[in-house]
Amino acid sequence: MKKNGYLTISFVFIAVLTGCASTPNAHLDSARSSYRSAQSDPEVTNLAPLELKKAGDALTEAENAWRKGKDSAKVDHLADLAQKQVAIAQETAKRKAAEAVVSSADAERNKIRLSARTEEAEKAQEQAQSAEMRASMLESQLKELSAKKSDRGMVITLGDVLFDTDRAQLKSGGVREVQKLADVLKQNPQRNVAIEGFTDSTGSEDYNQELSERRADAVRDTLLNMGIDAARITTRGYGKNFPVASNSNEAGRQLNRRVEVIISDESGNIRSR
């Protein structure tokens, strides 16, 4: 009789334990549901695999505690930890996805900036090549005028022989030279000119100054008559200043009696003397 009593008690105890393990746990059910949801999200599995594994390990621990019939408070605590770990995995995935979007946007912006810089560099190179070509063409065009390079630009010298003696009127040969200059300026509308008159040291300073100014003005007026805009021309007389040869002999004095025409750069600028 006692033996049957012990068996009855044992069966009851086992039934109680089995009943405890099979009793649903809301916290554990919620953790399972959250974990399954995270597992089915490619963003989480791809971007937060380590965090998701920790969530799985935490859920397994909670499951084991539940199966072993641990008290509900313990199971609830472990299930909550698993739930939090799932949330960490999901938040980590969201953050990394957002960072990827920002990184992609930055990369696209950098690509656009690089493309823009490349286009600017190519454009600048094309402009430089075009400017070199125009400069080369200008030099070729100015050959007939015996132009020479200087630190101020290309310089054309109209000698004293192109003017009547002691006068500011251009001879026919001088007009032909100025016509060549006008043709060059028409083909290079971005270029300006500075016309500067000079004399030898013979005569008074006032006379030489006036003659140098009138000769520079004569060249300007001829260009104006040939259709060159006045805004592209400046004139100045320097009298006997800035000689290019000695004034002690006639050959030198003749070289000093001249009009120089300085061609500007492509921006229309001419350095001051």
**Res 22: pLDDT:** 55
pLDDT in tens, 230-240: 999 999 999 99
Lowest mean pLDDT across 126-130, 168-172, 184-188:
126-130
Query: In this structure, are residues 228 and 186 in contact, taking their beta carbons and an 8 Å threshold?
Result: yes
Q: How many residues are given for the chain?
A: 273
What distance in Å separates the CA atoms of residue 55 and residue 30, rounded to the nearest whole number? 13
What's the mean pLDDT in 184-197? Answer: 95
pLDDT in tens, 56-97: 999 999 999 999 999 999 999 999 999 999 999 999 999 998
**Domains, the chain:** 2-101 (no CATH), 146-263 (3.30.1330.60)
For residue 122, give Cα distances in angstroms to 115, 119, 129, 134, 166. Answer: 10, 5, 10, 18, 55
Share of the chain above pLDDT 90, in %: 67
**Res 3: pLDDT:** 46
pTM over 0.85: no
What distance in Å separates the CA atoms of residue 151 and residue 149, rounded to the nearest whole number? 7
User: Of residues 112 and 49, which shows the higher confidence score?
Assistant: 49
pLDDT in tens, 123-136: 888 878 877 887 78
The pair of three-digit structure tokens given for residue 151, joined into one six-digit string: 């630190």
User: Of residues 213 and 6, which shows the higher confidence score?
Assistant: 213
